[in-house]
Amino acid sequence: MSYCLNSDCMDPKNKPQAADCHACGSKLLLRDRYRATRVLGKGGFGTTFSAKDEGLPGQPDCVIKQLKPVLSTPQYVAQCQKLFQREAETLGRIGNHPQIPRLLDYFEMGQEFYLVQEYISGYTLHKEAKRSGPLTEGQVRDVLKEVLPILDYLHQQKVIHRDIKPANVIRREIDHKLILIDFGVVNDQGGADNSTPASGKTDFVVGTKGFAAPEQIAKKPVYASDLYSLGITCVFLLLGKLPKDFNPHQAGQPWLQTLRVSPQFQQVLIKMLAAATCDRYSSAREVLQALEQLGQPADADSFAVVPIQPSVAAPSGWPSAVPTTQPSVAQVAAQPSGAQPTVSPPSAVSGSISPSAQPAVAARRSPQPESARATTAEVLKPEASEPETPQKKSWWNKPILGKGSMTERIAGLVSQQTVSEPDILKHQQVIDSMTTLINKVQKLKSQQFSDPRFIDFVKVQSDLTRTAEDRNSLMLAAELLAAGIEFKDIFLDLQTTEARYRIAAAQKIYDAVQGLFNRNLEPAAFVAALNKKATEILADIETDKLRQAMQHYLSQIELLSQDKLRFQLFTLFKSSQEDDYSILQTAAELIEACKEGDSGNIEQLNRQIRIQYTGFEKLGRVLGIPAQKRLPETYARLIQYVALSDRYQQSYPRFRQVIVLLEKWHKHYRNAVEIRQRFNPDEYKLPKEFKQDLPGVEVYEYFREYVT
């Protein structure tokens, strides 16, 4: 089969050697060489396909990772390009390791980005544990002894994987070696020493919740973050339980009681899972040395298993283990998994296995059946959900054959010559089309669509993008506001320094900053020019206290200059002569309240904004909001959008697809009813309202007024 790579295609499946897609007309041979054959996984930022390389003899298998930016703003696309280039360079550099898939090709086509990687045939540790039950201590030690050298190699290359989990480790079929995959959220540290969380500061939270270390959730990953994730992976393999079902930092550590391992190996795991990086192993090599000092693995049968219940809530500072679908722009950028990371989206592991459900597996396993194997990117596929309760058949959706069926009724009508054969054929075609569309809706359906807070987000998105003008100005304003909120502490620190130090020497620094902003320099050129001027000014400052304060002031400005969006916001503040950044603190408090409380209470937000309207009106000028739009309602919508976008932005494009499909479904439905009216106009009347009990109809009814 050939699979169309156009993400908007309604029917992407094509014949094996087709040149163009039968549904949308797109070319099926990517770059005149790569033919996608099936989808391996989808996430918020892209899709992964198995493929054939038709440019080589024998057409070897490969994997295509397609990244499609979810926003079309120039800033966002530029960021995607930067992150894509960085990931490709990193993969090219680390791909020489025999247990890391090789990068074969990478390129950009039509604002979509593609990576082509080596295909790995095998099965993941996640599938292995689900099939054969929890592993023994000896088997988990073997896993560590294979994976730790890979991590040691990555860290020597100054790369943090950031998504270590059972679904991202494949046991290769040909030699049973463990292969580390899914480098869509890698963090290339370049020249950073990465000895502290601050040195690994990132712009986005990436990885899989439950497996990601606390400092990684705080956007400050270090090399030891990978060791933490590997420790969680070990506990999963030993218990067969997902991170959401146990908390390694719970008082008393009750999860340890369920481990059938030696006390010495327990201590290794405890140190790998330390909440503070200073209490954790500092390197993969250090963990290997600790393993070498252990005695023989414990006999699993000598330990009693005490079942644990899923924890109700994690204590403060411990991230929630709810699977995420928003992988980071770094999963651009980022984040899937199945429903989540960057070029390749990270996926949250789901499902649970009782520790005593099945016997332990052998340390070295024989090849699994084909159904048990996974490819390099198959781990991106979301776990199969429980089948939904069959929907009650609608009055028009009667059986096609049998007693009381539509066929029986139509046959009677045909015998009376009241309906023609073309009408019957047309009716059947309409029903077939409706069935196909509903199947597509079911595949796209997300539980978030019924989440009241997602409903709020859709309303906000609709209100902010009524026209093209609004979309360009207000969405950029929302991005700038989000950047300001994220770095508000730096902005407020600058304001405090400027207010505290007003002497002539400090004023020279402030004037130099203002003068450089007036020259409209790029961030890198701005920093270089500022450092040159500052060196001369600082040399004339006599007191250490003032010199240190000014050096700190300049370092904060340099931090803002490392990202175009926040540098743009700083430039807008300076060019508009608005140096009061306190409104960012007010906006941050309102955003936090929206995240925690009733984000849909627009009237309450309006009242709060009116109290601070002078500050918001100044902020509106800085953000470039048109004068006619600088109203409390606009600021309230921006606050709501920023509060909800991190959680729901990745679901919105998929939601739009559902609406488009349901629009077509509605049209087919009316066609079917009109045909049936010809059969029996007394019984089959066109209803005044579109309310049927097929899946997704309620979603369509509720949302169609918000989608233009």
Could you give all domains of the chain from N- to C-terminal order, each with its CATH number? 2-118 (3.30.200.20), 120-384 (1.10.510.10)
Which ranges of 95-173 does DSSP label H, i.e. alpha helix?
125-132, 137-156
**10-residue stretch averages of pLDDT, the chain, 708 residues long:** 86 90 90 92 76 92 85 73 81 88 89 89 90 90 96 93 92 93 62 44 65 88 94 92 70 72 92 92 95 76 40 31 31 34 32 32 36 33 35 42 52 46 65 69 59 68 59 72 80 83 84 81 84 84 85 86 79 69 79 66 74 78 77 79 72 70 71 65 45 48 55
Residues with Cβ within 8 Å of residue 27, at least 6 apart in sequence = 19, 20, 21
Give the Cα separation of 418 and 411 in Å (integer): 10
pLDDT at 7: 79
| Token digits of residue 132 | 């054969």
Beta strands in 182-233 (DSSP E): 187-188
SS3 for 358-410 is: CCCCCCCCCCCCHHHCECCCHHHCCCCCCCCCCCCCCCCCCCCCCCCCHHHHH
The b/e string for 641-650 (b: 16+ C-beta within 10 A; e otherwise) is bbbbbebbbb
pLDDT at 180: 94
Is 82 labeled as ligand-binding? Answer: no
Q: pLDDT digit string (tens) for 277-328?
A: 999 999 999 999 999 998 777 654 444 443 333 333 333 332 333 233 333 3
pLDDT at 394: 40
Q: pLDDT digit string (tens) for 417-476?
A: 444 556 666 666 776 776 677 666 666 665 556 566 676 676 676 666 655 455 556 777
Catalytic option among 61, 152, 163, 540: 163
- Give this prediction's pTM: 0.45
Q: How far is CA 157 from CA 162, 341, 420, in A?
A: 14, 22, 73
Block residue for tokens 């040399």 = 539
Q: Which of 400, 391, 456, 390 is nearest to 428 (CA)?
A: 400
Residues with Cβ within 8 Å of residue 378, at least 6 apart in sequence = 40, 41, 124
Q: How far is CA 134 from CA 69, 355, 356, 372, 552, in A?
A: 39, 6, 8, 16, 52
| Token digits of residue 263 | 């006390």
Q: What 3-state DSSP class applies to 425? A: helix
Residue 163 annotated as catalytic: yes
Residues with Cβ within 8 Å of residue 202, at least 6 apart in sequence = 187, 219, 220, 221, 328, 330
Four-residue CA torsion sign, 532, 536, 539, 541? negative
Q: Which of 653, 654, 659 is nearest to 700 (CA)?
A: 659
Block residue for tokens 């950029």 = 476
Give the Cα separation of 143 and 120 in Å (integer): 18
Phi, psi for residue 587 in degrees, rounded to 5: -65, -40
DSSP string, 270-299: HHHT-SSGGGS-SSHHHHHHHHHT--SPPP
pLDDT at 333: 31
SS3 for 302-327 is: HCCCCCCCCCCCCCCCCCCCCCCCCC
